[in-house]
Structure 1
Amino acid sequence: MSLAIFKQHNKPLLLLALPLLGAHLAQTGMSVADTIMAGRLSAVDLAAVAVGSSVFMPLLLLLFGTLMATTPLVAQANGAGNTSILSRTIQQAGWTSLLVILPIALILYSSRAIFDFMSVTPPVAALGAAYLKAIAWGLPAVAVFQVLRCMCEGLNHARPVLLISVAGLLLNIPLNYVLIYGELGFPKLGAVGCGYATAMSFWFMAALLGLYVHFEKHYRNFAIFNVFHGPSLKEIAAILWLGLPIGLSIFVEASLFTVITLFIGEMGRFTVAGHQVALNFTGLLFMVPLSLGLALTVKVGHAVGAKRLAEAREIAFYGIGLAFLVALVSSLFMWIAADWVVKLYSPNQQVQLLAASLIQLAVWYQISDAIQINAAGALRGYKDTRIIMLITLFSYWMIGLAGGWWLAMTDNFWGAQGVYGFWYGLIAGLSVAAAILMWRLNYTSRVHP
């Protein structure tokens, strides 16, 4: 990688990626706060948040990913100087979000049946289902926030999203404290309090971002809210055609962790709790390469829209190289800090020991995970989204989940590995995904017209 390429692309990419990282860390921080604060109450509450989050997060990412089609649409329109269509695009994305949140809400309200089918222990299943019903009240706010967020990020204005996400986290923590532990005259709700606190934080963030977009001078030129656009089936279908493969590919990856957590649910509350602690901590560190991948979507999309195809390829591969270096640092930190970090989540020694050993395993897939998410992000900048869904479906489910289940639950060559077998499967699945997505990016970036 030449010094000229570094100077040309490093600063613009980081100026976009760092606010995105801050926003993701703040939003993920709500999940971390839920996990830590519920874990300090009891292992059952921690396990309930674990199984509840394992259902909610993939569905939330399905919504996020589908609406993420807004980002490359806005970025390419902005790169081509065609800003007149932004108002219609944003409002049609809003109508699209309604089609997505309705089935998500139905699944959340039917979650007890899912937990029972997966043989999750009854106390954890009951509490987890109640947690999901509470958090479902925030779904409309999540949809509004995500549409406006994608618009801001597509226009290279990620800082407001960062500040508002931090504000949401700062509200979520005291709300958690009041509702989980029953302070200030409120009833002691435990894990269910986490759900209500998160839903209220979602509404707070959506209101703030809506007010910002409405009053900020920069957005007045786009006339986003000046003219009402009713739902257009043609435009909604176009957004879904581009966005659903994004949402489904992200959902496939996230649901891999969901199904693993539900399989583990029958292994007991301490195993579930330890698995959740490890997953929560590694997921927090994953926000760094994820933010770089989202920045790549915007920067590559902008260059493609402006017909600067050689520059788009340079940006894509520079971003992946940067993600590789970040993953090396992340792996080293995880290796050193695992024993210390798990003590923040739970005072239970059994939970701590299991979580620390799983984090040590996660060190081995940090590089492949960073590469695959950034290759996918660059491909989305080219609007090459459907192939990502197929690649991730094969890698995560056929290699990661099926292989992990075989290692964990069957009397194989090494004997049933329990929870560790699923984590071995994760290493294999993410590595295969990284290899195939890199091949696809190399091909797409060379032949794109």
Structure 2
Amino acid sequence: MNFFSKRFLLESKRLVQLTWPLLVAQLTQMLMGVVDTVMAGHYDALDMAAVALGFSVTIPLMCFLQGIALALPPIISRYQGSRQSDQVAFAAQQAGYLLLVISLIILLLYPAIPTILQWFPMEDGLFQITLDYVRYVLLAMPAFALYQWLRNYCEGLGNTKPTMIITVIGLLFNVVANYCFIYGAGPLPAFGGAGCGIATAIVITVMFISTLVYTHMSRRLAHYALFSVLFRPDFKQMVRTFRLGFPVAMTLLFEVTLFAVVALMLTPFGATTIAAHQIALNFSSLMFMFPLSMGMAVSIRVGFRVGQNNYRQAATAVKSALVIGLCVAVLTATFTVVGKGIIISLYTTDIAVINTASALLIYAALFQFSDAIQVISANTLRGYKDTTAMFILTFFAYWIIGLPAGIILGRTNWITDAPMEAAGFWIGFIIGLSSAAVMLGLRVWVLHRRHASSPSYRLAET
């Protein structure tokens, strides 16, 4: 492939334009979690633990809603590419109805929260704070669902900067709200960790209202007339959207639960191992935002080009994303290895933790290459609406290949003389992610080969 061809440079430019606001938004969203943990921790260690536990309960629900919402960009970007802008509002409204219904179903869990939390043995004080945190966040689920709906509506039409701006505003508002409700301010009492849940619910609502106002007033989006006509709920369209989004939602849940399971499996090896694992995992999650944002951008570009029936340019967009993603992986992996001492010092001064985490960051650097390929390939399949294949392949790679490999290396002496502990699980991550990269990459290659024989593949660039 000629990396300096007009097609390649065009797609690279448009991918970068879409990616950088998404990257800022993703990093800002991660910082919200960091701010919550730090500010609750400064109030009391018990409250910090409650926030961490409450977050572990609510994040799978939020990931599920986000996964369903991620079905919207490839749907409406196709309509945009095929110049069927009159269909965008209908498809978007049906996705909104679907997300609202699911969020209301989740809200029905409210009375069962105490029972759910009793599955996790904890002292009474910790239980009550965690319960209050989860209750407050759960009340914001409809607002979160509608925020994700409007966010993905904007992003699906290639309008990614509003998400960035609103998320940054949300982060700033989160700091202020946390201070007021955790520590108390004026007439407001100090709620401690539970106040972090109140702040989170308010911030989610503010972000939803801000996105709603922008979407309603934006001249750039006026052509698509999202609110001009209120369509009735269409069950068939909602089911089609659900079928497209459900595999994405389950894929997100697979990733979240995989890392949670590994953390639990490391508990027999002590606090030092767990702390080192969390440091490496936290930093890796930060680096993952780069290829993830590129993947989100390529799904939009692929959907747009497929809507144009221009499969050749869709393939070029994927190649551009992979080249850029791997180049960034070289930089982030190098930074991880060279700067691992500085990175770890930001988290801890414990020598034992530093030594263990230093070794784990080497593995974290290695899997950034396969991580970039697999997330870009997975989002390419989302752009092609091939989410069922994405779901099956990622489940197989993570849970059937990666996790068992990690258990064998980390918890047994079947292959090594002694269990490798955390290092064994990180090698399992590398095996699982590499397997996902190969399988998802092959699936993308099959789709491209399938379309290469069609006349539309030879379309000139538009």
The normalised TM-score by structure 1 is 0.89
| Separation in structure 2 between the aligned mates of residue 125 and residue 181 of structure 1, nearest angstrom | 20
Could you tell which deviates more after superposition, 324-333 or 33-42?
33-42
| Identical counterparts, % of pairs | 35
- Pairwise CA distance, 1:421: 3.4
Name the structure 1 match of 2:442.
Answer: 439
C-alpha deviation, 1:427, in angstroms = 1.7
CA distance in 2 between partners of 1:121 and 1:267 (Å)? 23
1:381 maps to a residue whose letter is G
Structure 2: distance between partners of 1:352 and 1:402: 27
> Could you tell me how far 1:111 is from its partner in structure 2?
6.3
Quote how far apart the aligned CAs of 1:223 are.
2.1
Matched with 1:89 is 91
Q: Distance in 2 between matches of 1:263 and 1:255?
A: 12
Match of 2:460 in 1: none
Q: Which residue is equivalent to 2:457?
A: none
Aligned partners of 1:127 and 1:192 also within 8 Å: yes
1:426 and 2:460 aligned: no
Shift in CA distance, 125/435, structure 1 to aligned 2, threshold 3 Å: farther
Larger radius of gyration: 2
Q: Which moved more, 1:333-342 or 1:73-82?
A: 333-342
Partners of 1:264 and 1:272 within 8 A in 2: yes
Q: Alpha-carbon deviation of 1:176?
A: 2.5
Change (3 A) 1:198 1:335: farther
- Conserved in 1, the CA contact under 8 Å of 2:98 and 2:242? yes
Moved more, 278-287 or 114-123: 114-123
Question: Unpaired segments of 5 or more residues in structure 1?
Answer: none
1:270-314 per-position Cα deviation (integer Å, ceiling 9, x unaligned): 655554443333212211110100100011111111011111111
| Corresponding letter in the other structure for 2:227 | F
Q: Which residue matches 2:298?
A: 296
CA RMSD of aligned residues (A): 2.9
- Partner Cα distance (2:405, 2:121) in 1: 21
Which residue matches 1:391?
Answer: 393
Trace 1:217-366 onto structure 2 (pairs within 5 A).
Answer: 217-264=219-266, 272=274, 274-345=276-347, 355-366=357-368
Instruction: Supply the AA of the counterpart residue of 1:433.
Output: A
Of stretches 334-343 and 306-315 in structure 1, the one that deviates more from structure 2 is 334-343
Shift of 1:445: 1.4
- Provide the secondary structure at the position in 1 that maps to 2:140: helix
Partner SS, residue 224 of structure 1: coil
Q: What letter corresponds to residue 443 of structure 1 in structure 2?
A: V
After superposition, give the CA deviation of every residue in 1:204-251 in whole Å (9 maximum; x if it has no partner). Answer: 110000001111223233221122223221111010111111222222
Shift of 1:400: 2.3
Contact 2:104 2:142 in 1 (8 A): no
- When residues 330 and 43 of structure 1 are mapped into structure 2, their CA distance, relative to the original with a 3 A threshold, is farther
1:38–1:278 CA distance, 2 compared to 1 (3 A):
farther
What's the CA shift string for 1:333-382, capped at 9, x where partnerless?
22233333344446777666655554343222111111100011111111
**Residues 160 and 293 (structure 1), Cα distance of their counterparts in 2 relative to 1, 3 Å cut:** same
Ranges in structure 2 where 5+ consecutive residues have no aligned partner: 455-462
Equivalent residues of 2:132, 2:194 under 8 A apart: yes
- In terms of mean alpha carbon deviation, does 330-339 or 362-371 score higher? 330-339
Once the two structures are overlaid, the 10-residue window that deviates more, 104-113 or 278-287, is 104-113
In the superposition, relative to structure 1, how do residues 333 and 181 fare at CA in structure 2: closer, same or farther (>3 Å)? farther
Which deviates further from its counterpart, 23-32 or 188-197? Answer: 188-197
What is the TM-score of this pair, normalised by structure 2?
0.87
Q: Which residue of 1 aligns with 2:459?
A: none
User: Could you say which residue in structure 1 is the equivalent of 2:196?
Assistant: 194
Q: CA deviation at 1:17?
A: 0.8
CA contact (8 A) 2:8 2:317 kept: no
Deviation at 1:413, TM superposition (A): 3.8
More relative contact order in 1 or in 2 (CA 8 Å, sep 6+)? 1
Cα shift at 1:157: 0.8
| Paired residues of 1:48 and 1:127 also in contact (CA < 8 A) | yes
Shift in CA distance, 443/166, structure 1 to aligned 2, threshold 3 Å: same
Count of aligned residue pairs for this structure pair: 449
After superposition, what is the alpha-carbon deviation per residue over 1:119-164, rounded to whole angstroms, capped at 9, x for unaligned?
Answer: 6788766655543333223211211111111111111111111101
Query: What corresponds to 1:416 in structure 2?
Result: 419
Deviation at 1:184, TM superposition (A): 4.9
Give the direction of change, closer, same or farther, for the CA distance of 1:33–1:333 in structure 2 (3 Å limit). Answer: farther
Letter in 2 for 1:193: G
2:50 & 2:262 partners in 1: Cα distance? 15
Q: Which residue of 2 aligns with 1:382?
A: 384
Q: What is the alpha-carbon distance in structure 2 between the residues aligned to residue 137 and residue 275 of structure 1? A: 33
